[in-house]
Chains A and B, each alone.
Chain A
Amino acid sequence: MSFVCFLPASRRTILSGLLLLFSAGLVPWFFTPPAQAADPLTIYSGRSERLIKPVLDAFTASTGIQIELLSSGSTELVNRLKAEGDRTPADLLITNDAGTLELARTAGLLHPLKMREVERAIPAQFRAPDNAWVGLSGRFWIVAYNRTMIQPDQVTSLLDLADPKWKDKIAIPNSGSEYLQAGVSVIRATYGDEKTRQFLQGLKTNADSQVYQKSSQIVDAVAKGQVAMGIVNHYYVYRYLAAQPGAPIAVLMPDQQEGGMGAIMNVAGVGIIKSTKHLDSAKLLVEFLVAQAGQKLFAELDKEYPLHQDVKADPALVERKSFRAAQVPLSKLAELREPTLALIEQVGLR
């Protein structure tokens, strides 16, 4: 081939240079002693790195404890913890969904906690009975709508989104999303399987190809008018508005009508892994996250509803006392999940 003539002279030199460079680099890698001054904490996090890293950085800044973060999907991380068993390097698990935490707890992966700080700061309905996991911040599954395309009185319930008149006008998360799974679980617990199935059928038809991997993409699509409405966790909308104040997007708190289900709530939370060798540092982190300072970070940076009673949510958010939450206990999300997944798959959501 005529291409050959470009290289031979210099190729060898480049290649041996590359090889040398890497072998030189390998030496310190193999011989660096692994233990440093203070052991870092290893965290498996199912939350987007963008949302959790600033909070963890604040912890490092105040305690000097370094943190190794592995960001991935919540379910995937629980699978991983199960597989790793006692050999896991993880000290804590952070997820975006109480159901996943409860699954980890029932699988015996989490360490029960007896900490006064936790019990004082976080109301009991947002924790596991044995405190093996502790909710940190609340989020609501809301309808984000484009103000130029929708009047807020056109939709009252999440179930309205299945109405054929919204064909090609809505965006939804994909079926692997833990928010969606938790949301469908709550709807099932409230209305039963048949009505939920009809809802999902309608949702599937209306969303068609507007099925997204990330909530931030849904918010973006709504703000740009690509779709009129989307179902997301509330804070994605407020984070978007904080970055782009003029965007024509707003939050509609669904199912507040007389006799309605109430808005679907979930929490992001943390649990300490049973086999951790750094229990004291891990507890220190939990303490940091539930204390006022930590809770303020979730409120200000992430626009979530803090669970600590004395910490106020961001003033831009819908006042927490002004709306009702659905009456399905968080700890039930775990047992509801398997049949929910079966239903989602039957309907064929992507």
Chain B
Amino acid sequence: MSTVRHQLVSPLQLVAMAIAGIILLPLGYVTAQALSADPVVWSRLWATRIPELLFNTVSLAASVAVITLVLGVSTAWLVTRVEFPGRRLWEVTLVLPLAMPTYVLAYIYSYLLGFGGPVEHFWQLVAGPQARIFSPHSYWGATLVMALDTFPFVYLLSRSALLSMNVSFEEVARVSGVSRLSTLWRVTLPLMRPSIAAGVALVILYVVSDFGAVSLLRYQTLTYAVFQQMTGRSDNAAASILSLLLVGLALIFLITERWFRQRSRYYQTSGRYRVPERRRYGWLGTIAITGYLGLTVGAAFALPAWLLIQWSLSPEALATLDNRFFGFVWNSGILAACAATVGVLIGLPLAYLANRKPTWLNISCLQAAYAGYVLPGPVAALAVLVLFLNVMPFFYGTAIVLIVAYVLHFLPSGLQSLEPALQQITPNLEEVARTLGLGVRETWRRVTLPLIRNGFIVAWVLMFLQIMKELPATLLLRPVGFDTLAIRVWMEASEEYYQLAAPSALLIVLVGLPALALLLSHDWRAA
């Protein structure tokens, strides 16, 4: 028995180590390139760009964090602790903004808030013809777009914290004569703190690594600067240096999020679970609540979606729906399908080993696969590019390079579905199958695989849908004739051809909706 298992595990372990190595290699190359860069480049960047970029990135992250905190926690509290008509509906619709890629929301807001745009026209009716509103191409514009797009992260975490919280704590406070507001402040919110912190850290990680919105809103962050350095200079030294800083920054927030997520477990209390009592407010309260939620969802999803539909139906946009357009759809689909398949095949041995034989080696292999979290799109592209140029230059310019970058970047979200699927099945089942005389392979085929199949499929779909909307790595690495829907949106939108960008954008949003349903039923952190 033990010899059989030994034979089974050993090659698998080798595979896992090889995969982990391949995943870490690009990151290592970028680091090496950054550290070996001419000190002159370093000092030049420190003197000119880095302070501004760091400040811009961190201040954007901070303001988005504050706004998402308020929006996310307040909406979560409303749908869990207040009873009002349509509550169940709002509970679901508040998640919809996650289906909007940031670059789509950014281009819609650069139209809405743009100079001479509809919002300004309306404002001028109110405040006089010379009145101006803030430009979307600014710090506040980027803040607005990123906050509207990411608040559902905080909402979802706060909501589940509110639902799983033991209401007895609050009841004790109330019985002891503490006012409602004071209870909220002194009992409920402190209990939610780890979940909120995890949500906000996630938002920050997302903001720091975003490329689509900041590029369309012309707001200079580190991620955008990496892209600009890669496309505007003939060597990658400066891009590598900025990438290294960015990886460091992302790492800080990833660790923060992990730490708070783990801490949130300590707050799970035993005891009987009851649904918290939902308070009712009068019709005035109902109107206020509905107005608040309607405004939030309207600004983050309904209005943009309506505009996309309007634009897609315009004659200019309909004229673009030719064979070429379906070629883009096909490219998006085929690239995402290949990369998702590779991702699942690669992720499976890693997750399996780390869960079944949690030696430190196996666990580190799995942790290595999470490196993608701290590799924003342009950095992943740079890393893969540098790796291929140094090691396998003959693949450069083929779809393989792009697929490797996708896998590297999105493997973490696939693993988040694979891991729980594997954790759910007990090894006893496999052992029973073995004692009853099934061979190793048969056990895999007839017991393990059927049990993990669902997790497998969900991981595949999640990776597929995220890869479909990926922008920066695709821009940098796509081979000839491989324009995708995301590329078309970005190219048209960056020249402000709003109508022409709409059909591709709408399709991306529509395809993203089922993904959202899946995410909600599993682990939505990966959106």
Contacts and interface: CB of A to CB of B under 8 A. Distances in A.
B116 interface: yes
A291 to B, nearest CB: 26
Interface string B488-520: 000100111000000000000000001001101
Contacts of A50: 495
A226 to B, nearest CB: 4
A221 interface: yes
Interface stretch (B201-209, B256-264, B284-292, B392-400): B392-400
Interface stretch (B10-18, B189-197, B231-239, B361-369): B231-239
A284 B208 CA distance: 48
A87 interface: yes
A29 interface: yes
Contact of B92 (A3, A84, A348): A3
A176 interface: yes
Contact of A68 (B160, B337, B480, B517): B480
Nearest to A40: B481
B232 A176 contact: yes
A175 interface: yes
Interface of B is mostly: helix
Interface of A is mostly: helix
Interface string A1-43: 1111011100110111011001001100100000000000010
- Among B330, B478, B495, max chain A CB count under 10 A is at B495
Nearest to B215: A213
A7 to B, nearest CB: 5
B49 interface: yes
B29 to A, nearest CB: 14
Contact of A87 (B394, B454, B517): B394
- Among A3, A69, A85, A224, max chain B CB count under 10 A is at A3
Interface in B332-386: 333-334, 337, 385
- Chain B interface size, as a band, is 35 or more
B81 interface: no
B44 interface: yes
A73 B396 CA distance: 18
A50 B478 CA distance: 19
A61 interface: no
Nearest to A18: B461
B218 interface: yes
Given A73-B232, A345-B48, A85 B393 contact: yes
Contacts of A44: 480
Nearest to A88: B397
Contacts of A112: none
A209 interface: yes
B215 A7 contact: no
Contact of B116 (A12, A76, A224): A224
A345 B334 contact: no
Interface string B382-417: 000100010001101100000000000000000000
A316 interface: no
Contact of A4 (B393, B454, B521): B521
B459 to A, nearest CB: 11
B521 A84 contact: no
A78 interface: yes
A268 to B, nearest CB: 17
B232 A217 contact: no
Contacts of A226: 115-116
A1 B521 contact: yes
Nearest to A223: B116
Contact of A341 (B160, B218, B233, B479): B233
Nearest to A48: B495
Contacts of A73: 231-232
Contacts of A176: 228, 231-232
Interface string A57-88: 00000000000111111011011101111011
16 contacts: A1-B520, A11-B521, A22-B334, A26-B334, A75-B234, A83-B393, A84-B393, A87-B397, A89-B479, A209-B137, A209-B218, A213-B215, A213-B218, A214-B495, A346-B44, A348-B48
Interface of B: 44, 47-49, 52, 91-92, 115-116, 135, 137-138, 160, 215, 218, 220, 228, 230-234, 330, 333-334, 337, 385, 389, 393-394, 396-397, 454, 457-458, 460-461, 475-476, 478-481, 491, 494-496, 514, 517-518, 520-521
Given A68-B481, A226-B116, 19 more contacts: A3-B521, A6-B517, A7-B518, A15-B458, A22-B334, A25-B333, A69-B481, A73-B232, A79-B234, A87-B394, A89-B479, A89-B480, A174-B228, A176-B228, A209-B137, A209-B138, A211-B218, A217-B494, A345-B48
